[in-house]
Every structure is written in C-alpha cells, then in structure tokens.
Amino acid sequence: MTTFAKSLGKSSGALAGPLLKWYDRSKRDLPWRVAAGHPDPYHVLVSEAMLQQTQVATVVPYFHRFLAALPTIADLAAADEQIVLRLWQGLGYYSRARNLRKAAIAVMQQHNGRMPSDVELLLTLPGVGRYTAGAIASLAYDRRAPILDGNVVRVLSRLDAIEHDPRSPAMQKRLWARAEEILPPKRAGDFNSALMELGATVCTPRNPQCLICPVAGQCLAYERQLQHVIPPPKKAKETPLLVRHVLCLRDSRGRFLVEQRPPTGRWAGMWQFITRPTEDFSDVLRTSTPARTALGTVRHALTHRRYEFHASAASFDGVTDSEKWRWASPDELHHLPFSRPHLKIRALAEAAFGCHG
Ligand code: SF4
C-alpha cells in the first residue's frame, strides 16, 4: 500500500501549470461554461444539480430547456414545483429538482436574490452539499474551494497511487484535504474544472490515456503502471428487487386514470398510472373488474434497488375522480411529470390503445 507521505511532495504545486495549459487548449464547449470570465452562479447550480449521477451528453439538452423556461434564479424560485418536475422529467433522482427550487427560494428570501460565494453559506442552501458548494464558490467566484466528484477522486487517487478504496470515510477525508492542498492561488475554478475534465476525457475509468496526459510526469500510478487497478473496483452488491403492478385504465373519452405520488419519498409529487404492490386494484375497481391486457414488464434500476413494473391495460368507465386519482386527457398526460418507468409504460399503453403521443 502506498503512503500519502511520499506522494504529497511529488505533485503539489507542479500540477497547476500543465493542467491549466491543457485545459485552456482542450476543454469541451459546454453550455454552462463561458469563453472568458466566470459562469453565472445560477448556471453552475443548475448544471451541477443535473450532472450528479448523470452523463454530460444527457444533461446538455435538459440544461438548455431548463434555462429557456427559467432563465433566472428568480424565475426558478417563483415556478410551480410541477413545472420544475416536468422540466426534469427523465433525468431521474427528482429530489435534486425539488431541492434546486427550494435553494432558489432560499437565495431569493435570505440573500436578496444573489447566490452566496462563501462555502459555509452555500452549504445552508437545500440540496447543496460540499461538492456543489465548492463548485459554485470556485467556478463562479474563483474562491479557493476544493471539489471532489467521481472524476476528481479517480484522478487524485491515480496521481498519488492510492490503492485504498476511495469511498471509505478515511479516504474521503484525505482526498478532500488533498483536493484543497493542490489548489493554485489563482484560477481555482478553472483548476477544478480542469481536474474534472481530465477525469472525464483522459483519465477515464477504463483505458486512461496516459500517453497524452498533461500531468503524466506527476503521476505515481503511471510511473508504477498501476493506473488500471486504481481506484479499486466497487464491490458488486445485490440490490433488492421491488415488484409493482400497474393498471392503465382508459375511458371511452380517451382519458387515462392517473394518480399522484405522495409528497415525500421516491418520485415524490410525480404522476403515474394506478400502481400497487400486488394485483389487487379493488380500491379503484369497486364496481366491476374489466378484462385486462398485459402490456409487458418495465425494469428500472436505481443505485440501491431495482424495480419491475408489470403493466396491464383495460378500457373502463366505472371510476370517478377522487382525492387519490383522476382522469387525464391525452394532452394532460403529456404535460404531467411522470417518472421514467411510467413514461415507458405510457408509451406501451398508448401503443396498445392506438393513441399517438
Ligand atoms: Fe490518469 Fe494516466 Fe494521467 Fe495518471 S498519467 S493522471 S493515470 S491519465
């Protein structure tokens, strides 16, 4: 096992020059970056919230749509949560969207509409953790604030040839300290962006391109040819499987019966077809039971659990609106925020009934 003591002296201070030069030359043109100066802190907040657990290519069109609909932090703070969820639809991990709106409200109410530049103040905003606070402070305000995301963890682990599991609390603590220690006195935001960019494009999880890496000369993993085994892979863990039964009811006016999820928990506040843990839909189908047609199974994997949605459909008029469910016209169906698995089920149901979305 490598000790930190040896690696610390090697790369401190010597990283910034070549890394920033490389970044200036090679950085990708991303919509939340600006050619000169610093990006708008609101843009950083939105993009960083979207980029958590999500690929850049997926985020780009969402970012454009979000900013077109809600161009300022004041617009986001004033927006209805359902609008924000609809803009987020398909990105997953919807608590990010709800927290983003709450953070905008807090900025409007507690900071006169101006995003704080201080990490401690940023940390008081809903949904803003150490990483996002560091990103806003450094990228938008050029504060010397460290950041540590998956890309930075990998790059730092390799630069220092750390063979320990970087996910352990002790290593996280050490890596945060390291991320702060190597920050240059100027251009801290660009330096952080460059570290992330290096991890995303050169120092990739598999097949890092050490031959073209601007900091290969500072990299202990490369020197020791350990870059392919650092960081050690995550131990595969069996995640629990949750089975759900979904009933897509359509009435003779072409409307679908939908229900809103509770205000807390997974997919909170979003809409779905009638979904139950068993095939018992008797709370909805009180009067009679229509013949159902199987639509298929939709599988959805999250970090800690997997879902299997067994969907079926039926034509039925014997349900009236209630506090728990209501009929939605085809147009409404496409404006309500749905989770990704229910979007797939919606497509199956529309195909089965011959509707076009
Ligand atoms: Fe990553 Fe290789 Fe560069 Fe080291 S030399 S930082 S392992 S790409």
Is 117 part of any domain?
yes
User: CA-CA distance, 86 to 55, in Å (whole number)?
Assistant: 19
Q: What is the 158 CA–ligand 1 centroid distance (Å)? A: 6
Least Cα distance to 352 among 243, 247, 261 occurs for 247
Identify whether 3 is part of a domain. Answer: no
Minimal-distance CA residue to ligand 1 atom 4: 219
Rounded Cα distance between 263 and 274, Å, is: 17
Whether residue 113 is contained in a domain is answered as yes
- Evaluate the CA torsion angle 225, 231, 236, 242 in order and state its sign: negative
In terms of residue numbers, what domain contains 295?
A: 241-353
Q: Which of 123, 141, 159 is the last residue of a domain?
A: 141
Please report whether residue 205 resides in a domain: no
Residue 249 lies in a domain: yes
Count of domains forming the chain: 2
Which pLDDT does position 357 carry in this prediction?
55
Q: Quick check: is 207 in a domain?
A: no
Query: What are the tens digits of pLDDT across the range 322-344?
Result: 989 999 998 999 999 999 999 99
Q: pLDDT tens digits for 8-27?
A: 444 446 899 999 999 999 99
Give the global pTM: 0.79
pLDDT at 274 > cutoff 70: yes
CB of 15 within 6 A of ligand 1: the answer is no
CATH, residue 72: 1.10.340.30
Q: Is 158 in the pocket of ligand 1 (CB under 6 A)?
A: yes
Any ligand 1 atom below 6 A from CB of 195: no
Tell me, yes or no, whether 7 lies in a domain.
Answer: no
Phi-psi domain of 316 (left: phi exceeds 0; alpha: psi -120 through 50; beta: other):
beta
List the Cα angle 136/138/142 in 5-degree steps.
Answer: 125
Whole-Å CA distances, 62 to 85, 127, 302, 350? 12, 19, 20, 25
Pairing of strands 241-250, 306-315: parallel
User: Which of 219, 220, 224 has most ligand 1 atoms within 8 Å of CB, for mutation?
Assistant: 219
Using CA positions, which residue lies closest to atom 1 of ligand 1? 203
> Rounded to an integer, what distance in angstroms lies between the CA atom of residue 207 and that of residue 200?
12
- The protein residue whose alpha carbon is closest to atom 7 in ligand 1 is 227
Residue ending a domain, among 121, 141, 161, is 141
Quickly tell me which residue has 């072409």 as its tokens.
Answer: 254
What mean pLDDT comes out for the span 29-40?
90
Kindly give the number of the ligand 1 atom that is closest to the alpha carbon of 216.
Answer: 5
Where a domain ends, among 109, 141, 173?
141
The alpha carbon dihedral of 108, 114, 118, 123 has a sign of positive
Asked whether 337 lines ligand 1 (CB < 6 A), one says no
**Which CATH number belongs to the domain containing residue 299 in this structure?**
3.90.79.10
- What is residue 11's predicted lDDT score, i.e. its pLDDT? 47
Higher pLDDT, 287 or 289: 289
Give 105-164 pLDDT, tens digit per residue. 999 999 999 999 999 999 999 999 999 999 999 999 999 999 999 999 999 999 999 999
Residue 212 lies in a domain: no
